[in-house]
Amino acid sequence: MKIHIKNGRLIDPASKTDKPLDLFIAAGRIVGVGDTAPAAWGNGANSVLDATGCIVCPGLVDLAARLREPGFEYRATLESEMAAAAAGGVTRLACPPDTDPVLDEPGLVEMLTHRARLPEFAHVHPVGALTTQLEGKALTEMTELSEAGCVAFGQANHAIVDTQVLLRAMMYAATFDFPVWLQAQDPFLAKKGVAHDGEVAARLGLAGIPVAAETIALATILHLARETGARGRRCRHDRRRARRRHRGDLRRGDSSPASVRNGYRLFRCERAARSAAALNA
């Protein structure tokens, strides 16, 4: 199957490309980039896509996409979420473990990956729970979960309060070189907060979360990561890297979920401020 995508703006961060370039695809592989067809292209493509005014880029990766299954099917289903993902250019998504039941058992992970094996849609990469029930007390069977398909382990937005458990969880994950994804938020400082602590929250009368909630938690995580080699281990060697080459992108974003979330919250604050200003006007 030969596909020719023409007239689009080709953006490829990995090769630092951002210019108008055509793309030539044959049998599922990119065989040419540029104005002219590659040598072995032959006569004509089976499919020509006119990408005028469009961006042509590698599939986007959503690092925390909630698929609503299992447990929250009243909100959405796997099909609807994955259709939405594909429509938005997301070809790979990682789903956090805070499903219902929590993704802390290999059987649940297998069920999810099996359900998600829908051909036209995105690839699903489950993030397993770091502690059972996300309670922050006991470790999950990470090697079993990894074999069932988990690419990393995390706590969604359930902080591990007991720092000794956090340390040991990271050490255990580091033993097998499993990535650990954590949100940096001190649960006590963030308790009942709904907005950044600051002028907007003060004006609108919203309970604020101080910046320290993130900085303190981040410092804890980074110190422990340095001590356990939880991150360092990933950078060395490694056999698993070859197997998970495609998922390499997913590994980089330990801190991005946190920053994306706070940015979103800030955005909401300002919108709330504008709405309140509009009301008062």
Partner 1 sequence: MHKSPQLNKHGELQHLLTIEGLPRDVLTRILDTAAPFTEVAEREVKKVPLLRGKSVFNLFFENSTRTRTTFEIAAKRLSADVINLNINTSSANKGETLLDTADNLSAMHADMFVVRHAASGAPFLIAQHMAATGRDHIHVVNAGDGRHAHPTQGLLDMYTIRHYKADFTRLTVAIVGDVLHSRVARSQIHALNTLGVPEVRVIAPKTLLPTGIERLGVRVFNDMREGLRGVDVVMMLRLQNERMQGALLPSTQEYFKSYGLTPEKLALAKPDAIVMHPGPMNRGVEIDSAVADGGQAVILPQVTFGIAVRMAVMAMLAGN
Answer yes or no: are the C-beta atoms of 91 and 123 closer than 8 Å: yes
Q: How many residues bind partner 1 (CB under 8 A)?
A: 23
Segment near partner 1 (CB under 8 A), from 17-25, 76-84, 112-120, 140-148? 140-148
CB of residue 130 to partner 1, shortest distance in Å: 10
Q: What is the DSSP letter of 97?
A: S
Contact between 228 and partner 1 per CB under 8 A:
yes
- Closest distance of CB 107 from partner 1, Å: 14
Can you tell me which residue has the tokens 């469009």? 54
Stretch 148-177 residues interacting with partner 1 (CB under 8 A) = 162, 164-165, 168-169, 171-172, 174-176
Give the nearest distance from C-beta 224 to partner 1 in angstroms.
Answer: 12
Member of 131, 155, 183, 262 binding partner 1 (CB under 8 A):
131
Residue whose CB is less far from partner 1, 144 or 197: 144
Separation CA 58–CA 3 (nearest Å): 15
Q: How far is the CB of 110 from partner 1 (least distance, A)?
A: 16
Interface region with partner 1, contact rule CB under 8 A, candidates 11-19, 29-37, 60-68, 129-137: 129-137
Backbone phi and psi for residue 97, each to the nearest 5 degrees, phi listed first: -80, 0
Within 173-212, the residues that bind partner 1 by CB under 8 A are: 174-176
Instruction: Using the minimum distance from each CB to partner 1, give the nearer residue, 131 or 220.
Output: 131
User: CB 139 → partner 1: shortest distance, Å?
Assistant: 4
Any idea what the Cα angle at residue 250 is, between residues 266 and 209, rounded to 5°?
Answer: 25
> 268 with 210: CB under 8 angstroms?
no
Among 138, 161, 202, 211, binds partner 1 (CB under 8 A): 138
Instruction: Please state, in angstroms and rounded to a whole number, the distance separating the CA atoms of residues 203 and 20.
Output: 47
Cross-strand partners of 90: 60
Token pair belonging to 29? 């592989």
Chain Cα centroid distance, residue 197: 26
Compute the least distance from the CB of residue 137 to partner 1, in Å: 7
Q: What is the DSSP letter of 64?
A: S
Residue 111 CB, shortest distance to partner 1, in Å, is 20
Which is nearer to partner 1, 123 or 158 (by Cβ)? Answer: 158
Q: Is 141 in the site for partner 1 (CB under 8 A)?
A: yes
Q: Compute the least distance from the CB of residue 236 to partner 1, in Å.
A: 12
Interface residue with partner 1, options 95, 96, 99, 140 (CB under 8 A): 140
143 makes contact with partner 1 (CB under 8 A)? yes
Q: Give the binding site for partner 1 (CB under 8 A).
A: 131-132, 137-144, 162, 164-165, 168-169, 171-172, 174-176, 227-229
